[in-house]
Amino acid sequence: MITGNTKKVGIIGWPVGHSLSPAMHNAAFAAAGLDYVYVPLAVQPGGLKEAVDGLRALGFIGANVTIPHKVEVMQYLDEIDRTARSVGAVNTIVVKEGKCIGYNTDAQGFVEALRQQSITVEGKQAVLFGAGGAARAVVAGLFDAGIKKMILGVRNPSKAEVLSKDFTGVSVFDWYDNAFVDTLAKADILINCTPLGMAPNLAETPPVVWQRLNRAAAVCDLIYNPPLTKFLAAAKQQGHVTLNGEGMLIGQGAVAFRLWTGRQPDISVMAYIFKKKLKK
Ligand code: NAP
């Protein structure tokens, strides 16, 4: 039951009706016996500053932040942690002693998803397709976790230059360039960070010369709908270990849950609710 003592968390976005986070977090709070509630907070563009001030005024202990507010929100916060600064986006706020502190849990969430599958990162090489917001989080998370080198294949290298300037150790190629195809032989992890293959565009995939990919490479897609993209299906057929975007979504939620509660959530409860809601 919600009472005056119930701790409040929310998700600020526009729209937020489709978000799976309220169901996932409320189930995890209940499973942990925590008197917390997680509510959708639909905030129109133009209303973000007031919404952040509102978190403080209404006694929220934190919030998630989603599209389209993840970058703009940074200017309204009191502190921003190092990873969120390098990603350039905040997806989680903790309100502590009246101060709003911004984090990016996508970065750590992706690494936790890899670890759940026993995919190691330290000293390895990753090859990514795409250089947008999700790719930045993956790059920051993998560097924090000790990856050695990252190579990005993109359709538009000039747009991705900023990412290679912001992170030492990242090189960017046109994904049709032979030099990029050559990098596949040394990849330990291959990651699709583009929306290619996401519903309803199921027939799309980034271009991979599967014969050139290191046989032992793990192949990941940040997309979770559908659970098996054309990209992952091809990887499976070649015998690679695969991981879809469900792990990252649940992983980012688990990191946020820990920031708000100091407790480890039951990941299996979050995964169960996630799958159930996604099917609807
Ligand atoms: P974004 O910021 O828009 O970046 C998309 C990237 O993909 C850019 O590099 C873009 O290249 C490239 N791209 C887009 N359409 C393309 C096309 N038709 N052909 C070739 N390249 C294309 O998007 P994002 O936020 O990074 O999200 C990327 C994917 O990750 C989405 O599918 C999203 O749902 C998923 N995601 C999953 C999670 C999770 O928790 N599992 C979290 C975040 C994102 P240009 O710069 O040339 O446009």
What pLDDT, in 10s, does the model give residues 156-174? 999 999 999 999 999 999 9
CATH of the domain at 34: 3.40.50.10860
Residues 51 and 20 reside in one and the same domain? yes
Q: Which of 162-166, 244-248, 276-280 has the highest mean pLDDT?
A: 244-248
Residues 274 and 233 reside in one and the same domain? no
Residues 229 and 258 reside in one and the same domain? no
Residues 125 and 231 reside in one and the same domain? yes
Residues 6+ apart with CB under 8 A from 75: none
8 neighbors 32 (Cβ within 8 angstroms): no
H or E element: which one contains 268? Answer: helix 267-279
Give a yes or no: residue 114 inside a domain. no
Give a yes or no: residue 51 inside a domain. yes
Give a yes or no: residue 167 inside a domain. yes
Residues 215 and 148 reside in one and the same domain? yes
Residues 151 and 233 reside in one and the same domain? yes
170-215 pLDDT, tens per residue?
999 999 999 999 999 999 999 999 999 999 999 999 999 999 999 9
CATH of the domain at 230: 3.40.50.720
User: Given this model, what pLDDT does residue 279 score?
Assistant: 82
Residue written as token pair 């998370």: 141
- Per the structure, the count of domains in the chain is 2
Average pLDDT of the segment spanning 2-19? 96
User: Given this model, what pLDDT does residue 280 score?
Assistant: 76
Annotated catalytic residue 70: yes
Ligand 1 pocket list (CB less than 6 A): 106, 130-135, 154-156, 159, 193-196, 198, 222-224, 245, 248-249, 252
CA of 132 to the centre of ligand 1 (A): 6
Residues 236 and 257 reside in one and the same domain? no
> What is the band of 278 on the pLDDT scale with cuts at 50, 70, 90?
confident
DSSP 99: E
Give a yes or no: residue 41 inside a domain. yes
Range of the domain at 25: 7-105+247-279
Buried b (16+ CB within 10 A) or exposed e, 234-249: ebeeeebebbbbbbbb
